[in-house]
Amino acid sequence: MSNLYGDFNQKIDYVFKIVLIGDSAVGKSQLLSRFSRNEFSLDSKSTIGVEFQSKTIVVDHKTVKAQIWDTAGQERYRAVTSAYYRGAVGAMLVYDMTKRQSFDHIARWLEELRGHADKNIVIMLVGNKSDLETLRVVPTEDAKEFAEREGLFFMETSALEARNVDTAFLTILTEIYRIISKKALVANDEPESGGNATLLKGTKIVVPGQEPDTKPAKFSCCASS
């Protein structure tokens, strides 16, 4: 799939904001650095506040810029919650398949997500660290069942071995694109309906310091590529 990636000098057709959530140390930041830069670090530090990375891909001949936001799993390091979720059209709910507690907490993360995000947000449950199969405590079946019950996509990944990481992000981005392009079609048929407003709203990204007519979000830090 590497031919889908790269730097494009052409215009961006869509910007999709995706948020990463889940307990501390499940591997959110490493999934992000694997996807955006193809890098991995075994001694990665806990995230403080909010960071994001972008990556541009092509879906159906359209240029889609994924802007992926990453925050701290640890409560005390988390930034303003509603600002984090605002405008997100996709979410990855990450647990560590070697830590039962991180899976048990998924229901709470999902509740927070549903309380703050757009109701049409595309959500994927991600069981990370699949390279540690011998230490697995969360059976694939349990996670699959949970995902089916809650209407989520599901995938097991390894940021360390780059297993399923691209596939997970591409699945979510393609699904968002599918929903948005379908809504745009409906909207074209019925120009008065405004039926695409909800999801298209998500293509507006609040970049702290770069939003001319709104107050900058109160994030402690932001890194962009």
**Contact between residue 66 and residue 173 where contact means Cβ atoms under 8 Å apart:** yes
- Separation of alpha carbons 164 and 140, rounded Å: 15
- Report which residue type is found at 34: R
State the Cα–Cα distance between residues 46 and 27, nearest whole angstrom: 10
Shortest distance, position 69 Cβ to ligand GTP, whole Å: 12
Contact set for ligand GTP, span 124-153 (CB under 6 A):
128-129, 131-132
| Helices marked H in the chain | 28-37, 81-85, 100-104, 106-116, 140-150, 165-189, 197-200
Please tell me whether residue 73 binds ligand GTP under the rule CB under 6 A: yes
72 near ligand GTP, judged by CB under 6 A: yes
Q: Residue 86: which of Mg ion, ligand GTP, none does it interact with, CB under 5 to 8 A by kind?
A: none
Which CB sits closer to ligand GTP, 159 or 180? 159
Q: Does 47 interact with Mg ion (rule: CB under 5 A)?
A: yes
Q: What number of CA atoms fall less than 13 Å from residue 103's CA on the CB side?
A: 23
Shortest gap between Cβ of 114 and ligand GTP (angstroms)? 20
**Which of 130-140 are b and which e, b meaning 16 or more Cβ less than 10 Å from the residue's Cβ?**
bbeeeeeebee
Binder to ligand GTP among 16, 27, 36, 57 (CB under 6 A)? 27
Footprint of ligand GTP on this chain (CB under 6 A)?
24-30, 41-44, 46-47, 72-74, 128-129, 131-132, 158-160
Footprint of Mg ion on this chain (CB under 5 A)?
28-29, 47
